[in-house]
Structure 1
Amino acid sequence: MASECEIEVSVQDLVVDRKTFEEIDSQTQKKVQTLFLRTDIILEVEGRQIHVNRQMLADHSPVFQGMFESDFKEKHMDNIPLPDKKFEDFEIFLSSFYYNEFQHTITDDTVLVILPLAIEYQVTAVQDRCESFITKKLKQATNHEIERMDIPTLLSYIEYAEKYKLPTILALAVNLCARYDIPVLKEAGVEDRVSEKTWKEILEDRNSLMTTFMRKILQTGNAADVLATFDLITGLVVGNPEDTHGLIRTYENKLVVMLTNYPEQLTVETLVEIIITGECFKLENLLSSAVNLAFMCDSKLMKGSKRYHQISKDTKATIDEKRVVWLQENSYCCYVSLKD
């Protein structure tokens, strides 16, 4: 009897397995059908052919849909020439949406290739991805989460934002551009690449930034807006790169003295900002001094800082490790008091 029951279960299992196999096989077939779409139209770009599926293009692009379904000559054509387009650019554009399973990601190298074509052919999903990519890059650069953005790229973003009316990107790019010294921007051809209105906004933002910066320096001393200060110094043109390097070292040394001898003049937020600055601008002496002060501060206060999350994992680990050793070696130690 036991063996019969075992046989019954095995048969049921086989039935389930067969159904499962059939479902998997059906899904695989659908993917294969999607991957190897029947091509029924040819796009001719720079004398070269791209074989595509008419319905796939129409599903993603209202412009192509209009060509194929409205009373246009392309409706009855098997070969559609696309004059004034570059073959490689159009291939990259198609790869951003044509196969759902194998869509290429947007990158620094492709975003400005894809964006204008996505706008022209009204592929809104791809346009949104491009805009999100640029917006994220600009915000990361503004918050010093990535390396300083080069001026040619920044000006390209402004050009495209103006041309295609992208206000969010334009505002972010203008604000970031204002951090560079005027002679540097002029040398990069800013006056030829952006509109007169936008150039005026950059100058106004630059003036406002400098005014605010100087006011805070006068009111609160050397540790005011540390990141902004280094932004301005590195963006200055002072005739000789060594002079800029000298300015950076001078300001760094003043901050090190403050960290070492006058920590009571610093707030937790300022200390966190100094750590972030040391990482962003690769200032080892400044970073080391800031870490040495941080591990002697209350960890709850440090971690409660608004920008603590911007400190790298390695630096956070170093601070925690040094704090553990310090507490073990000093039974009656008390945390360093910072300014409220």
Structure 2
Amino acid sequence: MATECKIPKLCLEEAHCVPEENVTAQKNEPQLHFLPTDVILEVEGRDIYVNKQVLADHSRVFKAMFESDFTEKHKERISLPEKKYADFVNLLYTFYYPEREDLITDKTVLKITPLAEEYQISVVKNKCEKFLEEVCKSTARDVDKHIETSTLVEYTACAEQFNMKFVLPSAIQLCAECPTESLKRAGIEIKLTGDLRKSISDCRNSLMEKELKPYLDAGSRTDFLKIAVLLWDSQSSTEKRKYEDSLVSFCKHQSGSSSSQPSAISLHVLLGYIIAAERFNLRKLLEAAIDLASRCSYKKLRKDERYQRITDSSRTKILVKRMELFEDEFDSWRREISESRYNENYNKIQ
């Protein structure tokens, strides 16, 4: 007869997903129970108490292990070598109890997906695919949403490796909109197959034909940030200078306008100029756009989401420019007052 185990205080209702960095610190804590338990999974020398039937109901691998003629069928302790404790616990939290299913997150999806594939837990793999699909689609729809290039390449590699057909189209589009050098630094040539890299290249060429050429030819001053990554990565040096000079000229013209609030360009688009200029080291455009932004309503600037995305350096320059403008206006006003009083007194004397 098996020795009855004392149930520790820690149970599923009291526990949370285990961050990888906290694994070492938790070595001396009570072992984790997924009640009711009849088998122990040993991962990185730590025990996870689970139920065979629950695992078999969700995982084809565990079902075969516990119901077929495998050695693990009658074992009370099963070792899972080369697995990470934190990752495996987070995997269990995604399906073990229907009333307490933790969501897939950007911190767990890339660790959980391979485990869901290995143990053939389709419900979890579907959740991972749905999460990545929504992240990529929402980012592709909204130019102001951003995924780090390294993370995007990891997502794309995951979608390709595990055949996530609903993720790949948006992931390919997002990769096509990234600078080639950024993709190379993120390891695209190692992490993605040649076929997928070709798909990204074809998508980039298609975007060039549909969006960039008409944008450049028409001299449009709509949202420059939306296509800047493609423009600056794909155009010749002459075309880059030509377009930057055009935008600089436009900003300077607006700065010279008598209106205190530029009307020919929205704040959102103007801040897009600054973000693009910072990203691609367009010094002339950055200077001109900052000068124009300094003449805008500071209250409206701060309300725009893009204002928080520009660097601290650019925000500081905007504030300094605003102070200089204020000082110039104050000096001018003071001179006018002084002149008025001088003329008034002079007339009295006369």
One-letter code of the match for 2:192?
V
Distance 2:112 2:106 in 1: 11
Distance 1:140 1:288 in 2: 33
Which residue pairs with 1:172 in the alignment?
170
Deviation at 1:188, TM superposition (A): 2.5
1:136 and 2:140 are equivalent in the alignment: no
Deviation at 1:113, TM superposition (A): 0.8
Which residue pairs with 1:161 in the alignment?
159
Distance 2:159 2:178 in 1: 19
Which residue pairs with 1:94 in the alignment?
92
Backbone CA RMSD of aligned residues: 4.4
Deviation at 1:112, TM superposition (A): 0.7
Work out whether residues 230 and 248 of structure 1, in 8 Å CA contact, stay in contact via their aligned partners in 2: no
Distance 1:158 1:36 in 2: 33
1:185-211 CA-partner distances (Å, limit 9, x unpaired): 223322112111111222222223233
Distance 1:161 1:249 in 2: 41
One-letter code of the match for 1:210?
M
Distance 2:235 2:147 in 1: 17
Work out whether residues 212 and 227 of structure 2, in 8 Å CA contact, stay in contact via their aligned partners in 1: no
TM-score, normalised with respect to structure 2: 0.59
The correspondence for 1:251, drawn from 239, 247, 250, is 247
1:43 partner SS: strand
TM-score, normalised with respect to structure 1: 0.60
One-letter code of the match for 2:177?
R
In structure 2, the CA distance between the partners of 1:238 and 1:78, relative to structure 1 (3 Å rule), is farther
Work out whether residues 45 and 83 of structure 1, in 8 Å CA contact, stay in contact via their aligned partners in 2: yes
Which residue pairs with 1:109 in the alignment?
107
Work out whether residues 176 and 203 of structure 2, in 8 Å CA contact, stay in contact via their aligned partners in 1: yes
Distance 1:231 1:83 in 2: 44
Which residue pairs with 1:67 in the alignment?
65
Deviation at 1:87, TM superposition (A): 1.6
Count of residue pairs brought into register by the alignment: 259
- Superposed, 1:155-304 pairs within 5 Å as 155-223=153-221, 226-232=224-230, 251=247, 254=250, 274=269
One-letter code of the match for 1:174?
I
In structure 2, the CA distance between the partners of 1:139 and 1:254, relative to structure 1 (3 Å rule), is farther
In structure 2, the CA distance between the partners of 1:114 and 1:206, relative to structure 1 (3 Å rule), is same
Structure 2 residues not aligned, in runs of 5+: 1-12, 15-32, 259-263, 279-288, 298-303, 306-350
1:100 partner SS: coil
1:130 partner SS: helix
Which residue pairs with 2:120 in the alignment?
122
Distance 1:287 1:63 in 2: 62
Work out whether residues 161 and 169 of structure 1, in 8 Å CA contact, stay in contact via their aligned partners in 2: yes
Deviation at 1:236, TM superposition (A): 8.0
Distance 1:288 1:111 in 2: 45
The correspondence for 1:79, drawn from 77, 80, 85, is 77
Moved more, 69-78 or 88-97: 69-78
Identity of aligned residues (%): 36
Deviation at 1:40, TM superposition (A): 0.5
In structure 2, the CA distance between the partners of 1:137 and 1:222, relative to structure 1 (3 Å rule), is same
Deviation at 1:280, TM superposition (A): 8.6
1:285-310 CA-partner distances (Å, limit 9, x unpaired): 579979xxxxxxxxxxxxxxxxxxxx
Work out whether residues 223 and 272 of structure 2, in 8 Å CA contact, stay in contact via their aligned partners in 1: no
Structure 1 residues not aligned, in runs of 5+: 1-30, 291-310, 313-340
1:38 and 2:36 are equivalent in the alignment: yes
In structure 2, the CA distance between the partners of 1:40 and 1:142, relative to structure 1 (3 Å rule), is same
Deviation at 1:52, TM superposition (A): 0.7
Distance 2:275 2:234 in 1: 17
Higher normalized helix content (fraction of residues): 1
In structure 2, the CA distance between the partners of 1:37 and 1:189, relative to structure 1 (3 Å rule), is closer
